[in-house]
Amino acid sequence: MNPLVSPTWLAERLNDPDTVVLDATLPPVGVTPPVDTYGRYLDRHIPGAVFFDIEALSDHSTSLPHMLPSPEEFSKSMADLGVGSGSTIVIYEQAGVFSAPRAWWMLRTFGAANVFLLDGGLAAWVEAGLPTEAGEVRCAATEFKGNFDSAAVKDFEQLQEKIADHAQILDARSAGRFSGAAPEPRAGLSSGHMPGATSLPFTELAVDGRLRSPEELREIFAAKGIDIAQPVTTTCGSGVTAAVLALGLEIAGAPQVSLYDGSWAEYAQRPEAVIEKSV
């Protein structure tokens, strides 16, 4: 199933009480001062949209960034936001393709069935001449029962097994960070890559703020030597842009996709992890 929907598709369902719209915009990495994405949400958002704060909704019992919370914690958070297990959920971000796929992946991993991404995000909505509103939106609490899909998530030990088995691992970081030529943005971490991993910067899957077509995505994966009929695990710096690759694989028709949630933030600090460089 292609999870992308158009502004027109969403506009036709916007007043449906079962439709929930989420702004899942994270600040871009490395921008100083940090972009106030919540402030931008307050200034302008799709009518009825609720702010999905990926950082706030992550596991804060670990020092690793953006890790999945427990199913119980996530279920309570979604219920409080007004997101029900049976809701039709449409996620967007304010510009580009960066963090909304992480929200899509989180919701899918915790069992939400009808989760979609607005193709082109808020920019496409505005370009279509559709209305926006300002201010915070709060929805009535509902019920969300998280049903955790363990197959969608890999931990460090499972990732090590995949490396040993020469499984397909796709890395969404920049080519420089993957090769070791560029530094990591997180202090104290070496750049480089996992043995056997393939570099595919997440930015290559989108153009002008939209994901490429299924045919184009299949061509990109094939050019990287990825057999999408076989299992693929995605990774990145902190588990956010790995979800862009996971989304692209879904659109391309890959049946078995998992995401290494700890990603490079965890891998590079583990003393037993092997780091390769190609510079």
| Cβ-based neighbours of 55, under 8 Å, separated by 6 or more | 26, 65, 66
160: which 2 tokens?
A: 């090590």
Question: In this structure, are residues 146 and 107 in contact, taking their beta carbons and an 8 Å threshold?
Answer: no
Active site residue 139: no
CB atoms within 10 A of CB 98: 24
Order of strands across the sheet that contains 88-92: 4-5, 115-118, 88-92, 19-23, 50-51
Residue 33 tokens read as 């001062």
Residue in the block written with tokens 């929805």: 139
Q: Considering the candidates 236, 240, 245, 246, report the single residue annotated as catalytic.
A: 236
CA 192/CA 183 separation, integer angstroms: 9
From first CA to last CA, the distance across the chain in angstroms is 39
CA angle 241, 243, 248 (to 5 degrees): 105
**Catalytic positions:** 236
